[in-house]
Amino acid sequence: MSSIASTAISHRAAMPVLIALSATHLLNDMMQSLIPAIYPIIKDSYHLDFGQIGLITLTFQLTASLFQPFVGHITDQRPMRYAMVVGMGFTLVGLLGLAYAQSYGHLIAAAACVGLGSSIFHPEATRMARNASGGRQGFAQGLFQVGGQAGGALGPLLAAFIIVPRGQTSLAWFSLAALVAMALMTWTAQRFAEVQREADKAHKTKPATASKPTPSRAHVAGVMAILIILLFSKNAYSQSFSTFYTFYLIDRFGVSVQSSQLMLFLFLVSSTIGALAGGIIGDRIGRHRIIWFSIVGALPFSLMLPFADLFWTGALTIIINIIMASAFASILIYAIDLMPGRTGLIGGLFYGLSFGLGGIAAALLGEAADQVGIDTVYRFCAFLPAIGLLAWFLPKSDLPARA
């Protein structure tokens, strides 16, 4: 009875932490999303081509990806609750750099600072979300993802109504959001310490359970390789939209910059539905089924998209993004369950890969767009979700869905 009571108390106490982590994820990713949101502005101001735009994304994404596994490995060994605050400091510097950049080189350096801040934030926040989940891993990661996806979606909306009318320097106004995030991160770190102490007490009262056999390194490496390929197929496709969707809409349908930003917002915000729903349903039916749904469900719509008119382009992109976003929490938890005790490392690796692979894809797609046109690039991208069919070789997890 005492174990049940302690667990219940721990779960109730964890909800404020999960909500706060989601809110900080929203602010963090909102500021990051301002980078692609200002592309139509800086493309004209700095006379950039699509290849140079892609290199800005590549710089940001690679900086965000390279350090994340390292940070995650360190925090697994020695948790650093206040590391998130330091990371947000780098984001603040990068944001001000983007606002007052005097050259293309300054834009690259500022984007790298924002990426570095992200690399510090995600591993530690992922570890906190897992430990504060109360056993509902899919729900916890889904709720954490909702914040990030919502923040990413706000960038184009803010660009449409604030940055486009007022110019590049208006980015500096968002430094206030960075300061709010730093304060909220400080509170979250303090509250999480209390939750962790309660969870440790509850864990001590639980009876010992038999340990499961450790999978071989070859098995782990094979499954991780498949998960990484699945992540690549999803992020390459998503990155083609977050970086070039506005240009595609302007080029093909002749819409205004503000209208294209609003459509990009609708595309990005739809992922919040998929992220939360995928996490909750994954707790009930298992990670493997959710991963398969995100592949088989999205592919027919992605193949139809290049032939759609303006209305159906907007509708199909929302449907595709909801379906594809449902899988990230399941992919992440699948990997964490495969390597227990390495939550920070896995969180850093997979968030890092999502940035890095997306950045590489953006750079390659930008160069291709300069050569063959943005419309042709989107016809090619329609087949990217088909790479996910490699999930056929993904073994079903024998771990319970709520583990």
Residue 50 near residue 244, CB atoms below 8 Å: yes
88-135 pLDDT per residue, tens: 999 999 999 998 988 899 999 999 999 889 888 888 888 888 887 777
Residue 211 lies in a domain: no
Q: Mean pLDDT lowest for which of 4-13, 189-198, 242-251?
A: 4-13
Count of domains for the chain: 1
Residue 399 lies in a domain: no
Residue 315 lies in a domain: yes
The CA angle 13-17-23, to the nearest 5 degrees, is 150
316-327 pLDDT per residue, tens: 999 998 998 888
The yes-or-no verdict on residue 311 having pLDDT over 90 is yes
- What is the average pLDDT score of the chain? 81
pLDDT tier, 7 (very low <50, low <70, confident <90, very high otherwise): very low
212-257 pLDDT per residue, tens: 566 777 878 888 888 888 887 887 788 777 778 888 898 889 988 8
Residue 210 lies in a domain: no
310-325 vs 287-296: helix axis angle to the nearest 10? 160
User: 152: which 2 tokens?
Assistant: 């990413």
69-90 pLDDT per residue, tens: 887 878 788 777 788 898 899 9
CA nearest to 187, candidates 91, 81, 74? 81
Q: What share of the chain is helix, strand, coil (3-state, %, to 5)?
A: 85, 0, 15
pLDDT (mean) for 31-38: 81
Cα 205 from Cα 383, distance rounded (Å): 52
The yes-or-no verdict on residue 159 having pLDDT over 80 is no
Residue 112 lies in a domain: yes
Residue 401 lies in a domain: no
C-alpha distances in angstroms, 113 versus 12, 79, 117, 147, 304?
A: 36, 23, 6, 21, 38
The yes-or-no verdict on residue 264 having pLDDT over 70 is yes
pLDDT tier, 211 (very low <50, low <70, confident <90, very high otherwise): low
8-state DSSP, 47? T
362-386 pLDDT per residue, tens: 778 888 888 888 888 888 888 888 8
Cα 274 from Cα 213, distance rounded (Å): 33
Per-residue model confidence (pLDDT) at position 231? 81
Query: Exposed/middle/buried for 94, CB within 10 Å: 0-12, 13-18, 19+?
Result: buried
Domain containing 64 equals: 2-205+216-393
Dihedral-angle region of residue 196 (phi above 0 means left; psi in -120 to 50 means alpha; beta otherwise): alpha
Residue 402 lies in a domain: no
Per-residue model confidence (pLDDT) at position 26? 92
Residue 66 lies in a domain: yes
- The CATH number covering residue 265 comes to 1.20.1250.20
The yes-or-no verdict on residue 11 having pLDDT over 80 is no
pLDDT (mean) for 51-58: 84
The CA angle 355-391-150, to the nearest 5 degrees, is 40
The yes-or-no verdict on residue 180 having pLDDT over 90 is yes
Per-residue model confidence (pLDDT) at position 203? 58
Residue 29 near residue 152, CB atoms below 8 Å: yes
Per-residue model confidence (pLDDT) at position 214? 67
Query: Exposed/middle/buried for 387, CB within 10 Å: 0-12, 13-18, 19+?
Result: middle
pLDDT tier, 23 (very low <50, low <70, confident <90, very high otherwise): very high
pLDDT tier, 397 (very low <50, low <70, confident <90, very high otherwise): low
User: 230: which 2 tokens?
Assistant: 């699945």
Cα 102 from Cα 110, distance rounded (Å): 11
The yes-or-no verdict on residue 389 having pLDDT over 70 is yes
